[in-house]
């Protein structure tokens, strides 16, 4: 907003109307629910696993959101929804280096069914974005669903203050912060430094700049980024996971089938639950420990509104 120009009468009226409107709405929203807010704020954790191998991935995704009370719980009519999958590498979907295209497709469809005005797929990839989007299947998904595929480019990167304890001003991929609702849709895989790449680490694909230096304090930078982006909900794709050679993999020998999806509005809990799939205890993972310590969420996901569903 500009402060150095004189407001016209019209503008003044406009602003006043807006202010009173906002205040009324906020008050109205707050009044009856204030007592229940603590209960409502209780976060949830849902883990859905297919009982049989070969269960349709799309069904699995739908069941997961159904268990959480439907996509309309997260997405309202007219929302601009931005989905942040992990499409870092130009790898075929079977190699588990990137988010499963069918999970991505169902999430987009669910958002559209919930009345989203626009669904965007955005990721600042590591390999060339055109090749990543083409080979991971995201390009085809975008084409079929009509979602916008946002290609990372320098004009979409804006320096922002992340207010992290390690990261301050850093270039951010703007579509991610210009969303009404942000859905984090990572794939679960191995990583040589942070041990695992899950939901919180997925936000490294939300910034630009000298990302190669983040590794010098990987856990704190992951937590800083997770604090900054704060998605509406995190859905971790563990349909198949990469158990070694991460994060880029490159061989089906590195892949294990889990047929599992984890949905949570607590980023730390989602990661903690996913870590269990690798046979790790959550507290072994540095960024999960640090995330809990710095108040981002809880690693003790069973404390939450916890549900485990078999389909």
Partner 1 sequence: MTARRLVWLRRSCQALFLAFFLLLLVESRLPLDVYQDYSLAFLSDEDLRLWWPVTFFFQLDPLVGLTSLLSAGVLISGFFWGAAVLVLTLLLGRVFCGFVCPFGSTHHAVSWFKPSLKGDRMVRANRKSGGQRVKYFLLILLLAAAVLGLNVAGWLDPIALLFRSLALAVLPAVGNGLRAVFEAMATSDIRIVKLLSYGAEILVAPVFGYEPKAYQTAWLIGALFLTILFLNRIRPRFWCRFLCPLGALLGLCSRFSLLRLEKYPDKCTQCNLCTRSCQGAACPQPGESWQTAECVTCFNCFDVCPEDALTFTFRFTPVMTEKPDIGRRAVIGGLLGGVSLPLLGRLDGLVDKTGDPRLIRPPGSLPESEFLQLCQRCGQCMKVCPTNAIQPTLAEAGMAGFWSPHLVMVQGYCEYTCTLCGSVCPTGAIARISAREKVERPVKIGSAYVDRGRCLPWSGNAPCIVCQEHCPTSPKAIYLIDELVSGPEGKKLQVQLPYVDLKRCVGCGICENKCPVRGLPAIRTIAAGESRSMRNQILLL
Binding site for partner 1 (CB under 8 A): 2, 89-94, 101, 126-128, 130-131, 133-137, 139-143, 151, 153-155, 191-193, 210, 212-213, 215-216, 218, 245, 247-251, 253-254
Q: Which residue number, 5 or 77, has a Cβ lying nearer to partner 1? A: 5
Which residue from 271, 165, 280, 279 is spatially nearest to 228, judged by alpha carbons?
A: 165
Q: Which is nearer to partner 1, 103 or 261 (CB)?
A: 103
Of 31 and 212, CB closest to partner 1: 212
Strands 181-185 and 305-310: unpaired
CB 267 within 8 A of CB 43: no
Show the tokens assigned to 91: 């790898």
Helices within the chain (DSSP H only): 9-30, 37-40, 57-67, 101-113, 129-136, 138-145, 218-229, 267-277, 286-293
**In this structure, what token pair is assigned to residue 101?**
């295209």
Residue with tokens 């990721």: 123
Question: Could you give the count of Cα atoms lying within 13 Å of 208 in the half-sphere of its Cβ?
Answer: 19
Nearest distance, CB of residue 127 and partner 1, angstroms: 6
Long-range Cβ contact pairs of 251-255 (< 8 A, separation 24 or more): 251/95, 252/94, 252/95, 254/95, 254/96, 254/190, 255/94, 255/95, 255/96
The Cα 259–Cα 270 span in angstroms is 16
Q: Cβ 1 to partner 1, closest distance in Å?
A: 9
Q: How far is the CB of 35 from partner 1 (least distance, A)?
A: 41
What's the CA gap between 307 and 1, in Å, rounded?
Answer: 45
Identity of the residue, 1 or 39, whose beta carbon is nearer to partner 1 in the bound complex: 1
| Smallest distance, partner 1 to C-beta of residue 143, A | 6
Nearer to partner 1, 118 or 191 (CB): 191
What are the angstrom distances between the C-alpha of 155 and each of 63, 125, 139, 151, 175? 38, 15, 21, 11, 11
Q: How far is the CB of 138 from partner 1 (least distance, A)?
A: 8
Question: For residues 44 and 133, which CB has a smaller minimum distance to partner 1 in the complex?
Answer: 133
Least separation in angstroms between CB 306 and partner 1:
33
Residue with Cβ nearer partner 1 (57 or 110): 57
Neighbour count for residue 215 (Cβ, 10 Å): 12
- Least distance in Å: CB of 150 to partner 1? 11
Minimum distance from residue 270 beta carbon to partner 1 (Å): 22
Of 46 and 90, nearer to partner 1 (C-beta) is 90
CB-count burial class (<10 Å; 0-12, 13-18, 19+) for 178: middle
């Amino acid at each position: 907003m500009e402060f150095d120009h004189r407001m016209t009468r019209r503008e003044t009226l406009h602003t006043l109307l807006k202010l009173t409107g906002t205040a009324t709405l906020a008050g109205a929203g707050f009044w009856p629910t204030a007592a229940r807010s603590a209960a409502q704020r209780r976060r949830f954790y849902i883990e859905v696993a297919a009982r049989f191998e070969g269960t349709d991935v799309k069904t699995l995704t739908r069941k997961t959101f159904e268990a959480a009370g439907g996509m309309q719980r997260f997405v309202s009519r007219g929302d601009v929804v931005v989905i942040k999958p992990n499409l870092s590498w130009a790898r075929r979907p079977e190699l588990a280096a990137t988010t499963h295209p069918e999970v991505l497709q169902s999430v987009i469809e669910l958002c559209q069914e919930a009345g989203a005005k626009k669904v965007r797929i955005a990721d600042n990839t590591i390999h060339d974005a055109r090749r990543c989007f083409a080979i991971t299947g995201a390009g085809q998904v975008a084409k079929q669903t009509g979602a916008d595929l946002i290609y990372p480019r320098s004009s979409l990167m804006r320096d922002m203050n992340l207010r992290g304890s390690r990261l301050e001003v850093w270039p951010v991929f703007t579509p991610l912060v210009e969303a009404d609702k942000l859905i984090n849709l990572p794939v679960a895989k191995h990583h040589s430094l942070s041990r695992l790449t899950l939901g919180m680490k997925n936000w490294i694909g939300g910034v630009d700049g000298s990302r190669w230096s983040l590794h010098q304090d990987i856990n704190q930078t992951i937590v800083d980024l997770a604090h900054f982006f704060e998605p509406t909900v995190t859905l971790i794709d563990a349909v198949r996971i990469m158990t070694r050679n991460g994060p880029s993999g490159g061989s089906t020998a590195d892949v294990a089938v889990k047929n599992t999806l984890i949905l949570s509005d607590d980023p730390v809990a989602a990661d903690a639950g996913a870590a269990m799939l690798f046979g790790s205890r959550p507290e072994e993972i540095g960024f999960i420990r640090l995330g809990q310590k710095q108040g981002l969420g809880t690693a003790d996901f069973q404390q939450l509104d916890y549900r485990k569903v078999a389909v």
